[in-house]
């Protein structure tokens, strides 16, 4: 069985999905990666889908899930990408690692459509740098 990584945020609509897609791609199949939220929005933000599509990662089939859906799963690593999820995060069976890497919420950005998309790209790039680095570190273990 592959080690399971669960990435959590509050709404599970953009940051955690971008991180899931990036980590899944960067880990080259050596990790099983999921994302969820403490208060799921029920959708994946279209601008998150577009931001990842621009770098060749398709998250259009992702769905918004609740973190409690994974309580019976053997989760090796939990990564929270926002403060609210970090505070609400339970402990999962088999959990060995927990990391808190907060990122701005681009869904809350206020501006024009173009400015908002630029915010999604910036957050995507920050997430990409952090999660590709984590994947490389895991590959070297």
Q: Would you say residue 25 has pLDDT above 90?
A: yes
| H-state helical runs in the chain | 15-26, 46-53, 83-88, 113-139
pLDDT in tens, 31-48: 999 999 999 999 999 999
Domains along the chain?
4-139 (3.40.50.2300)
Please name which of 36, 42, 46, 32 lies closest in space to residue 9, comparing C-alpha atoms. 36
Query: Annotated catalytic residue: which of 78, 82, 85, 119?
Result: 82
Verify whether residue 82 is a known catalytic residue. yes
CB atoms within 10 A of CB 104: 13
Prediction pTM value: 0.95
Verify whether residue 89 is a known catalytic residue. yes
Verify whether residue 14 is a known catalytic residue. no
Residue of 90 and 56 predicted with greater confidence: 56
Query: Annotated catalytic residue: which of 6, 7, 9, 22?
Result: 9
Q: Would you say residue 115 has pLDDT above 80?
A: yes
């Amino acid at each position: 069985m592959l080690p399971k990584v669960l990435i959590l945020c509050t709404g599970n609509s953009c940051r955690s999905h971008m991180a899931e897609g990036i980590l899944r791609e960067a880990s080259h199949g050596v990790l099983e990666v999921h994302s969820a939220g403490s208060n799921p929005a029920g959708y994946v933000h279209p601008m998150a889908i577009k931001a990842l599509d621009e770098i060749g990662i398709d998250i259009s089939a992702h769905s918004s899930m609740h973190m409690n859906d994974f309580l019976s799963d053997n989760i090796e690593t939990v990564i929270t990408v926002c403060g609210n999820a970090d505070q609400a995060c339970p402990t999962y069976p088999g959990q060995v690692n927990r990391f808190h890497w907060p990122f701005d919420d681009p869904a809350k950005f206020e501006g024009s459509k173009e400015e908002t998309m630029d915010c999604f790209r910036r957050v995507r790039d920050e997430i990409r740098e952090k999660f590709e680095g984590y994947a490389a570190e895991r590959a070297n273990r």
